[in-house]
Chains A and B, each alone.
Chain A
Amino acid sequence: MPRPLTLSLDGREFDVRILKVDREKLYGNVEIEAFDEKGNPAQLLVLAPDGKTLIDKGGTALATVDENGDSISRADLVAVDEDGQKIETVPSSFNEVNVLKKASVEDYLSQLVKSVYLIEPVENEDKKYLQDHVGSGLIYNFDFSYRGGTEYDKAFTLGNKTDAFMIVGKRAELEFVKLNQAVDLDATEEQEVSTDEINFENLT
């Protein structure tokens, strides 16, 4: 059973459970099977740059290295802000009250999504209060960290008529560009559309 997360809206505090939602849970998943010309099963592996070393899942790791290429333990890393000042760690959001603040739709649309959670109430009464707000189109946000760490993500709370969701991510570095900011290339008739017309089932 997931730990409860305490939210605060308009001074009312209530506990909720958050349950991860992803594409697989909504639409299912796709697996690929491969066979050679003779019908023998083939396995997808990673070929190292030496052209001979074959690596299966779990055969690689990420390491933090210094300027000389020597690995450094995560425990020895120093987290600093943009000014080079050492920053303090943030607590897990499950250990504090998370105050929901109103956010604009543009704020939400500026977010790079990392995770999506369904918000389930611990008590029915609390669900109605939050649901009434997000179901009417209001969007809220708060700083969120699942386990605690060096920085918060931003969690947006929004919903549809029946359910409330929490969308976790980070703000994208969007830029308003002017005429003199051109970049090099690397290489109808208006109508309102019903959102029900757009198909998601077949995006496989």
Chain B
Amino acid sequence: MPINISNAKRRDAVVAMEGLIPQRQVQYLDPHHRPVATRRLLKTDITHDLPALMKKRKTPAAVATALIKEDPEIDIEEFGMFLADTSRVYVTKKGIVHLVEEQELLYNPDGTLRDKRPRKKEPQNINTDVPLKWTGKFIKKNDAVQKFIFTNKKQLVHVNGLTFDFLFEMAKTLHKKDSLLLIRGGEKGDQPVIMNRGGKAYNAFLEGRVKGESYCLILHLSNMELKRPKEVDENAAE
């Protein structure tokens, strides 16, 4: 995924932003020691789920009897099919609709309604004509980890020799400072980072590490602070 980012001298370049995967020490094999894969499959559709069955048979007892005698919850031809390239659609009683008005209902942590407003889908701002801004605002790593939870991470990688120098210098600066740099989007450089249209907004922080002639630039994304909730649910174990 391309990302347009500027450096301390306000020079900008489009470089690559790569997702990070966890280091895995475990693989799973079938009983014959051959590799396996995970696939998503269809379990039920809306014409066979409980609301549909209730609509036809009216009472739970009638549904239960039908489940035993007729298996109305199963479509033997369709269920179990592998699902790929699915899409999300809005549906009314009349079928799929393409034009909808969306409202956002904002709730407080205690469940009370705070606000209701038309949904605004902000566009992505990581690869536009306006580069993400090197704000010059540094936060010591030790201070940052005591304040924020970094819920997502990406790694920035060069796409040619010029952008190697560009990113290497960034990483060197950040490495020396032992700090994270606040990254902002938008013309004024005052917007959180948004990866895709209507997606989550994040406060973004850039970390640089240097080892010899190589570098590692990590974009840490945070949408929550490291702090105690006002109300702690004593049963929220896992």
A binding-site residues for B, Cβ under 8 Å: 1-3, 18-37, 40-49, 53-56, 58-67, 69, 72, 76-82, 84, 87, 105-106, 108-109, 112-113, 115-116, 118, 120, 137, 139, 146, 150-151, 158-160, 162-163, 165, 167, 169-179, 181-193, 195, 198-200, 202-204
Asked whether B22 lies within 8 Å of A177 as measured between CB atoms, the reply is no
In the assembled complex, B104 has its CB within 8 A of some CB on chain A: yes
Interface string of B81-110 (1 = CB under 8 A from A): 111111111111110110111111111110
Contacts of B145 in A (CB 8 A): 105, 108-109, 139, 158
Residue contact A48 to B83, C-beta cutoff 8 Å: yes
Given contacts A47-B89, A146-B238, A177-B216, whether A33 and B105 have CB atoms under 8 Å apart is: yes
Chain B residues whose C-beta falls within 8 Å of the C-beta of A188 in the assembled complex: 8, 10, 133-136
* Smallest Cβ-Cβ distance to B192: which chain A residue: A203
Please indicate the chain A residues that have their CB under 8 angstroms from the CB of B59 in the complex: none
Chain B interface residue count, Cβ-Cβ cutoff 8 angstroms: 124
Contact B39 A178 (CB under 8 A): no
Min CB distance A107 to B, Å, is 11
Known A-B contacts A23-B224, A81-B25; the reply to A54 vs B91 at CB < 8 A is yes
Chain B residues with CB below 8 A from A64, complex form: 28, 36-38
- Are the C-beta atoms of B235 and A28 separated by less than 8 Å? no
- Contact assessment for A182 and B39 in the assembled complex, using a CB-CB cutoff below 8 Å: no
Q: Assess whether A62 is in contact with B38, with CB atoms less than 8 Å apart.
A: yes
**Cβ-closest 4 pairs across A and B:** A188-B136, A170-B22, A2-B237, A193-B137
In the assembled complex, B41 has its CB within 8 A of some CB on chain A? yes
Chain B: CB-nearest residue to A25: B229
B176 CB to nearest chain A CB (Å): 12
In the complex, the answer to whether B92 meets A178 with C-beta atoms within 8 Å is: no
**B150 contacts A67, C-beta separation under 8 Å:** no
- Chain A residue with Cβ nearest B109: A28
Q: Mark B41-82, 1 if CB is under 8 A from A, else 0.
A: 111111101000000000000000000000000000010011
- Residues of A close to B89: CB separation below 8 A: 44-47, 54
Q: Does B18 belong to the interface (CB within 8 Å)?
A: yes
Question: Which residues of B line the A interface, CB within 8 A?
Answer: 1-2, 8, 10, 14-16, 18, 20-31, 33-47, 49, 78, 81-94, 96-97, 99-109, 114, 119, 133-139, 141-151, 153, 155, 157-161, 163-164, 182, 192, 200-203, 207, 209, 211, 213-216, 218, 220, 222-229, 231-238
Q: Which residues of B contact A43 (CB under 8 A)?
A: 90-92
B2 nearest in chain A by CB position? A185
Q: Which of B21, B151, B203, B233 contacts A198 (CB 8 A)?
A: B203
A49 to B42, CA, bound (A): 11
Instruction: List, in ascending order, chain B residues with CB within 8 A of A105's CB.
Output: 141-142, 145
> A177 near B215 (CB under 8 angstroms)?
yes
Interchain CA distance A162-B225 in the complex, whole Å: 14
11 A–B contacts from the bound complex (CB under 8 Å): A33-B102, A46-B86, A48-B45, A53-B45, A54-B45, A118-B232, A151-B24, A182-B159, A183-B16, A188-B134, A193-B137
Q: Which residues of A contact B82 (CB under 8 A)?
A: 69
Contact A200 B224 (CB under 8 A): yes
- Is the beta-carbon distance between B214 and A78 smaller than 8 angstroms? no
Are B22 and A172 touching (Cβ within 8 A)? yes
What's the Cα separation between A137 and B159 when bound, in Å?
A: 37
**Interchain nearest-CB distance for B51 vs A (Å):** 8
Q: How far is the CB of B93 from chain A (nearest CB, A)?
A: 7
Measured CA separation A181–B161 after assembly (Å):
10
User: Quick one: given A72-B30, A178-B213, are A173 and B105 in contact (CB under 8 Å)?
Assistant: no
For the complex, give the distance between the alpha carbons of A193 and B160 in Å.
33
Query: Knowing A77-B36, A82-B25 touch, does A20 contact B238 (C-beta < 8 A)?
Result: yes
Residue of chain B at shortest CB distance from A70 = B30
In-complex Cβ contact of B44 among A59, A173, A181, A199 (8 A): A59
Q: Are A49 and B84 in contact (CB under 8 A)?
A: yes
The answer to whether B137 touches A172 (Cβ under 8 A) is no
User: Could you say which residues of chain B place their CB within 8 Å of the CB of A78?
Assistant: 28-31, 33
